[in-house]
Structure 1
């Protein structure tokens, strides 16, 4: 496989470092937790994903690892391991067409997954517009799957709960992994950030009021 141009990888790393700093400031990526990715090539699929074991508040443009469509590292000159969840990032990007996938350990998302393991239903909230749904007269379910250390298992569970967009109903661009955290994705980094922030707000409201 031909690797992407170094300047594209550095640009992806810089963008993800900025997002990681933002989310660390929210308390969503404490210590080395969480991981972010962005697609740098689509055919074949190549993602830049934050390297494992690094403080997410201190990333630089060099702190990403290139992975393929199954989450395996592809740069033989880079010995750093990708995130343990890299395989699920790649699967979500391939399955949904997203170009950015963000995974953080927002506390209320974990609480919501524990409280409602069958999915978190939300309706009649203005903030639903931020994830592409109606503010009224629609029940939106944030899906929940169990936690597992094998990303192929989690990918299969993701496929069981993911509903692609139709002409009538948009997708729900987020997933809670019980006892772990939340994933959100979008067509670009800005969309993934928006979907993550909006979904976390909705979950925080649900946890606080039910």
Structure 2
């Protein structure tokens, strides 16, 4: 994650839904216990924070929606260039097929097409969440937010990070193929 971009969350409880979400504006490589905020199922801060002045990421509501809809235990959001470009090139979704790396997100390397949905960006996380829910493809642990980046999720933070790495590689490869003559600096 470059600078303070991106955010992370982990589900603490399911009923009621509670997530630990990174606080806004912090370098994710330097996080401590005091740099997370506990939020409810709508992404709003709940009482009793480790650092009461900490503000949750503006995207906490989308993290909560993803966790609720997919059953994920953790969500990672990154501002990856490949996702931004893929969303521009394929606004109706990015089709991936015939790549061994698809196994890393639970799909066959051959004889299967996987579509990573693309949804519009916005500042109202309730609307972005509704777009996510409408576009969500069960079994695909990622969604691209146009001109923003992408979210990936998993059973825990380790698996969510793994899905980020794999989906980013798949998107970089697909974008590089789309741009003949472009340097493949990945």
Do the two structures share a fold, i.e. TM-score over 0.5? yes
Deviation for aligned residue 1:76: 4.7
* Structure 1 runs of 4+ with >4 Å offset: none
- 188-197 vs 133-142, greater mean Cα deviation: 188-197
**Aligned match of 1:47:** 19
Pick the aligned partner of 1:97 from 71, 93, 104. Answer: 71
**Aligned match of 2:157:** 189
**Taking structure 1 as the reference length, what is the TM-score of the superposition?**
0.81
Pick the aligned partner of 1:125 from 83, 91, 99. Answer: 99
The reply on whether 1:30 has 2:2 as its aligned counterpart is: yes
Deviations 1:103-123 (A, max 9, x none): 011111111111111110010
CA-based RMSD = 1.0
Unpaired runs of at least 5, structure 2: 179-186
Deviations 1:43-84 (A, max 9, x none): 111100000011222222321000000000002551221000
**Aligned match of 1:61:** 33
Unpaired runs of at least 5, structure 1: 1-28, 165-170
Deviations 1:16-51 (A, max 9, x none): xxxxxxxxxxxxx22211100001111111100000
SS of match in other structure, 2:115 = strand
